Amino acid sequence: MSLPVTPTLRGERVVLRPLHRADVPRLVELGSEPEVARWWSGLTEEELLGKVAGRDEVTAFAVELEGEVIGMIQYYEEDDPEFRSAGMDLFLGTPWHGQALGPDTVRTLARHLVHDRGHHRLTIDPALANERAIRAYERVGFRRVGVMREYWRDPEGVQQDGLLLDLLARELG
């Protein structure tokens, strides 16, 4: 499956643009912040360079606010016509938490995935304990589907539960 050409997307306040090699040090720095690393372990230079080079199954964007990289969002697609859908993951650096930038980022990518990529259903799967992220996704219109028990391994190696949320195209505001 070939990855699509990554456009630049504009939200209310954020800009999502293709990830560049020059973004990697900044994203590694943001990813090392305790409140980010708690949920996104392993944001290494090698992993991020793989995303830049297209060696990953995701399409990644740098999230910018007023020209400054403040995080990353990525999506992956299920192309089987019977199950066609897309999922996304993101993080923003700690200084930008609580400013409604998460919902703006998610809504911007969701509109692209629905209107430009033709998806009728989107998913996101935060850690069940990541209440801040869950509230942000619900502000966009995502609904809780269910708990995925022992879904992911945290940085300490402990299996943690995840929460599956989804959004149908007709529910996107």
Residue 149 structural domain = 9-171
Q: Is residue 166 part of a domain?
A: yes
Q: Is residue 4 part of a domain?
A: no
What is the pTM assigned to this prediction? Answer: 0.94
Q: Are 162 and 152 in contact (CB under 8 A)?
A: yes
Q: Is residue 152 part of a domain?
A: yes
Q: Is residue 1 part of a domain?
A: no
Q: Is residue 15 part of a domain?
A: yes
Q: Are 15 and 112 in contact (CB under 8 A)?
A: no
Six-digit token string for 20: 């560049």
Question: What is the per-residue pLDDT across 74-87, written as a single tens digit (0 to 9) for each?
Answer: 999 998 988 999 99
Q: State the pLDDT at residue 4.
A: 57
CA distances from 95 to 69, 70, 138 (A): 12, 9, 21
| % of residues, the chain, pLDDT over 70 | 98
Q: Is residue 47 part of a domain?
A: yes
CATH of the domain at 41: 3.40.630.30
Beta strands in 4-142 (DSSP E): 9-10, 14-18, 59-65, 68-78, 85-92, 121-124
Give the total number of structural domains in the chain. Answer: 1
What are the phi and psi torsion angles at 93 (to 5°)? -60, 150
Question: What is the per-residue pLDDT across 72-129, written as a single tens digit (0 to 9) for each?
Answer: 999 999 989 889 999 999 999 999 999 999 999 999 999 999 999 999 999 999 999 9
- The contacts of residue 10 (CB under 8 Å, 6+ apart) are 16, 108
Q: How far apart are CA 10 and CA 49, in angstroms?
A: 24
Q: State the pLDDT at residue 173.
A: 80
